[in-house]
Chains A and B, each alone.
Chain A
Amino acid sequence: MTAPDAELPAFSEPASPSALGGGFMVICQVVLGLVLLLLWQGASGRLVDNFFISNPLDVARRLIGWIADGSLFLHIWATVYATVMGFVAGAVIGVVLGIWLGVSPFTSRLLNPYLNALNALPKVALAPLFVLWFGLGIESKIALAAVLVLFLVFLNTYAGVREVDQDLIDGARLMKATRVQVITKVIIPSAMSWVFAGLKISVPYALIGAVLGEMIAANRGLGYLVQFSGSQFDTAGVFAVLIVIALLAVALNFLVEIVQHRMQQWRVIGR
């Protein structure tokens, strides 16, 4: 579980970009990227065999080819769909489970050892089971993404519910609140900042789940594409997919930042 205030270290821009010259820094970053690409192009075939590291031009040609025949978008769409569906399914189940176990001490004690065992289990190892259960289609990828998200969201929600100030609950009960009212009007709003923290950290895991699922058994998706390219000894293809996955991950993080910004009010007054 992660406390709402915990910020994962991110390689994002420093707190005050203007202090480092804003636009100037962007130029430096672009120049660094170009220099690295040139070094890569130069090293390929001279210092290291082209077979192992390919080269930027081949990677670009591969990307352009995939874009031209439209196949790339098919794969991106499959991965995005599995990521989003997996995230939503995992988040909903995680929140519901977290609240339910958070407010039922008996059940949570009863299930405690089993939940610990399940949580300690590397969820990726469940993939073959999901393929058996849900088939080779998108459902097994959604399931894998969902199960990764589920535990993170569940643990955060559960911790958030347990953290609720008992005095607030007692106060509401003295004001004639029913059990349902205590849950909906005190416990859930109070746990909200924890829930958001859980949702935020679990977004990248949804992508990991979807891509891993596709690598194990699929006929579309970016995970399938990277796996397929690798098995064809197509290094340029592998690099091309990795770039697409990285861009997708960045786009997802950006989305999360925007949503978080919108939710800022909750985080502040949730304390």
Chain B
Amino acid sequence: MIDLRHVSKTFRKRDETVEAVRDINLTIAQKEIVAIIGPSGCGKSTLLNMIAGLYAPSSGSIVYKGARVSDVNTDAGYMTQKDNLLPWRTVRDNVAFPLELAGIDKSARADRADQVIKHVGLDGFAHRYPHELSGGMRKRACLARMLIYGAETALLDEPFAALDAQLKLAMHDLLLKLAAETGQTVVLVTHDLMEAVTLADRVLVCTRRPATLALEQRIELKRPRDVLNVRFTNEFKEHYDALWERLRVEYQEERV
């Protein structure tokens, strides 16, 4: 469904050029959950921004459902470490925001918003403002917002990096539940290998900048996955170790 063909991206800032992504070829199938992992600042986020259509690649092309991405990809939902809720809107108004943009009338969108708010476990917080919520609740609100407008593809850029370990597990559980229900395609950028293996069908390891794909590994763990216990199975450990072996090389080079 998503096809990256020889995608490269170079940023130019005055005389300085930074090559962020180099010649990436990648095909992501519908309903697949793909995790992209690599050292910080390696260009993973740039890759995601290009799939979202926020940046154009310097060379190569990105094809989404047969059409070349040349503008903002409105079939995609985007979620970053910073939760992009509008601070002057309540949770309900934030979640209903995509419906408001689509011109759906007020009572219909409030009803729909309340449904998804309940679905992500935020009932009772609909009238709160984002700054009154904990980090985990804000993530739930973001997921609810993505759910409400039926984004086909979820682009997640280290969405849970700022959460503590317990909250992260709860969010992983919710994310997998929602993805299974909606049949969403998920592209997750992370630097947490545990998270990548827990969630993904396929994990891609990026090199340091410029990002190229160093390793691709299918994660053959059965679904639905129990996010709490899957990490203690032997298969999980095998995947984890194989990926870590390759990833360590990248981190070691970074240290030198």
Contact = CB atoms under 8 A, between A and B. Distances in A.
Interface in B167-226: none
Interface string A238-271: 0000000000000000000000000000100111
A174 B146 CA distance: 10
B101 A181 contact: yes
B131 A269 contact: yes
The 9 closest A-B pairs by CB, nearest first: A171-B84, A175-B98, A176-B74, A173-B72, A269-B88, A177-B101, A167-B84, A174-B78, A189-B88
A174 B152 CA distance: 12
Contacts of A175: 74, 77, 97-98, 101, 145, 149
A172 B78 contact: no
B73 interface: yes
B249 interface: no
Contacts of B4: none
Given A167-B80, A167-B82, A181-B101, A174 B52 contact: yes
Given A168-B84, A174-B72, A186-B86, A269 B78 contact: no
Contact of A270 (B54, B84, B88, B145): B88
B69 to A, nearest CB: 12
A109 interface: no
Contacts of A186: 86
12 contacts: A167-B84, A170-B72, A174-B52, A175-B145, A175-B149, A176-B74, A176-B149, A185-B86, A185-B97, A190-B88, A270-B88, A271-B87
A201 B100 CA distance: 35
Contacts of A172: 97, 101
B163 to A, nearest CB: 18
B59 to A, nearest CB: 23
A192 B89 CA distance: 13
Contacts of A271: 87, 131
A167 B84 CA distance: 7
Interface string A154-193: 0000000000010110111111111001000110011010
A64 to B, nearest CB: 51
A176 B88 contact: no
Interface size class of B (residues with CB under 8 A): 20 to 34
B102 interface: yes
Given A168-B86, A175-B101, A189-B88, A269 B72 contact: no
B76 interface: yes
Interface residues of A, number: 22
A269 B73 contact: no
B49 to A, nearest CB: 8
A170 B78 contact: yes
Given A165-B84, A270-B87, 17 more contacts: A167-B80, A170-B52, A170-B54, A170-B72, A170-B78, A173-B54, A174-B52, A174-B77, A175-B74, A175-B97, A176-B74, A176-B102, A186-B86, A189-B86, A190-B86, A190-B88, A270-B88
B98 A176 contact: yes
Nearest to B77: A174
A177 B149 CA distance: 12
Most buried by A among B52, B73, B86: B86
Interface in B75-96: 76-78, 80, 82, 84, 86-88
A174 B52 CA distance: 8
B125 interface: no
Interface in A204-261: none
A175 B95 CA distance: 11
B87 A269 contact: yes
B129 interface: yes
Contacts of A270: 87-88
A269 B128 CA distance: 11
Nearest to B81: A167
Contacts of B131: 269, 271
